[in-house]
Amino acid sequence: MKELRLMKGNEAIAEAFIRAGADGYFGYPITPQSEVLEYLMAQKPYETTGMVVLQAESEVAAINMVYGGAGCGKKVVTSSSSPGISLKAEGISYMAGAELPCLVVNVVRGGPGLGTIQPSQGDYFQSTKGGGHGDYKLIVLAPASVQEMADFAKLGFELAFKYRTPVMIQSDGVIGQMMEKVELFEQMPRWTNEEIKKISPWATVGKTPDRERNIITSLDLDPARQERHVYKLGAKYKEIEENEVRFEKIQCDDAEYIFVAYGSSARICQKSIEIARAKGIKVGLLRPITLFPFPKKVLNKLADQVKGMLTVEMSLGQMIEDVQLAVNGKVKVEHYGRVGGMIPSPDEIVAALEQKIIGG
């Protein structure tokens, strides 16, 4: 039987790295996610599974360590929070360009700048539209529970290797710091060198006589070749949009209105639904689980059914653009959010629905 534990989101994801057979974690402390590294250091997986855990000198070093490890076909991961993720932007862009699989966890805090250490969802644009330079996309998973923190570590690695792409797990201070019960999946063995050679034949593990040398790079000085490469990336993102959309529909069947919210906001919206339905307002929730690929189609379909949508984000309104792009003018879309580390309460969300959508 799987194990049941009461854990913080940050601890659960750290434990899940170990169990998912991760080869290496490289990180730098920052609130509200320092427990990830702390948990790993306390567990010492290097003495059990052989997983490397290293506190880097900075976030920049950490993401480049991840680059190095991923280039060897290893399962590697880093975690940070908003300012630290900004520092990793160049490295993430490199990894997307070099088509390297890895996990990057962002336990979002309030920005811009040093901002606040309290929860926020202000990094949606950064994660989904490209914090780094150039045409690239990350697969972005948004866990809404401690259970998903653990599960998405495994899923994230699967997707990363399936598409040879960095995967971002976008959490926030609520999900990272809260404890819930979590059913942990069983320990998976780390890949052997032989398995890595099969799974990632492109990896730089030493050029044996049976193959051409392997190169990890994001550079091509020949524009025609570089263009082909970028088109190939573009095709991959299209494929991901076809295959990997994930979302949760809650009480949408009879809904006249829809909340669109992810992560901790989606949790709060569930309480809002209880309140609203008690008042007779038929509202449901569409929770994007993948922020990229964004659940456009289902939203576009829901737009035919409902009278309006309210996006609820702990930001000034970022995901709302993707919702608007999805519904393409079919239905009214408004945003409600709190910022700066403030968290919207279930009833103020209901009030916003009444005011901006139903009454508005």
| Site membership for its own copies, residue 228 (CB under 8 A) | yes
Cβ at position 224, least distance to its own copies in Å? 7
Provide the token pair at 157: 């690695």
Does position 88 interact with another protein (CB under 8 A)? The reply is no
CA distances from 43 to 48, 63, 299 (A): 9, 22, 42
Which distant-in-sequence residues (6+ apart) come within 8 Å of 126 by Cβ? 82, 85, 86, 89
What is the enclosing helix (H) or strand (E) of 172? strand 166-172
- Rounded Cα gap, residues 145 and 149, in angstroms: 6
Beta-ladder partners of 287: 248
Closest approach, Cβ 296 to its own copies, in A, equals 12
Q: Does 211 bind its own copies (CB under 8 A)?
A: no
Report the alpha-carbon distance of residue 330 to residue 285 in Å, rounded: 18
Candidates 254, 267, 352, 356; CA nearest to 302 is 254
Residue 227 binds which one of another protein, its own copies, ligand TPP, none, with CB within 5 to 8 A depending on kind? its own copies
Indicate whether 60 belongs to the interface with another protein (CB under 8 A).
yes
Residue 345: contacted member of its own copies, another protein, ligand TPP, none (CB under 5 to 8 Å, by partner type) = another protein
Among residues 226, 251, 305, 345, the one that binds its own copies under rule CB under 8 A: 226
Interface with its own copies, residue 221, by CB under 8 A: yes
| Per CB under 6 A, 309 contacts ligand TPP | no
Closer residue to another protein (CB): 219 or 235:
219
Chain position carrying tokens 């524009």: 223
123 binds its own copies (CB under 8 A): yes
The one-letter amino acid at 6: L
Q: List the x/- string, 288-327, binding to another protein by CB under 8 A.
A: ----------------------------------------
What residue type is assigned to position 294 of the chain?
A: F
229 is a contact residue toward its own copies (CB under 8 A) = yes
Site string for its own copies, 296-335 (x = CB under 8 A): -------------------xx-x--x--xx--xxx-----
CA distance linking residue 93 with residue 67, whole number of Å: 11
**Structure-token pair, residue 357:** 């959508």
- The option from another protein, ligand TPP, its own copies, none interacting with 133 (CB < 5 to 8 A, set by class) reads its own copies
What's 126's DSSP letter?
I
Site for ligand TPP, residues 24 to 63, rule: CB under 6 A: 28-30, 59
Q: How far apart are CA 316 and CA 112, in angstroms?
A: 11
Confirm or reject binding of residue 173 to its own copies (CB under 8 A). Answer: no
Q: Give least dist CB 35 to ligand TPP, A.
A: 13
Exposure string over 299-326, b if 16+ CB within 10 A, otherwise e: bbebbeebebbbbbbbbeebbbbbbbeb
- Which is closer to ligand TPP, CB of 27 or CB of 166? 27
Residue 86, interface with its own copies (CB under 8 A)? yes
Q: Which of 9, 69, 84, 143 binds ligand TPP (CB under 6 A)?
A: 84
Among 200, 218, 203, residue whose Cα is nearest residue 92: 218
- 10 Å CB burial of residue 173 (0-12, 13-18, 19+) is buried
Question: Which stretch in 63-71, 241-249, 293-301, 317-325 sits in contact with another protein by CB under 8 A?
Answer: 63-71
CB 211 within 8 A of CB 205: no
Binding site for ligand TPP (CB under 6 A): 28-30, 59, 83-84, 87
Binding site for its own copies (CB under 8 A): 60, 82-83, 85-87, 89-90, 93-98, 108, 110-118, 120, 122-123, 125-126, 129-136, 217-231, 233-234, 237, 315-316, 318, 321, 324-325, 328-330, 338-342
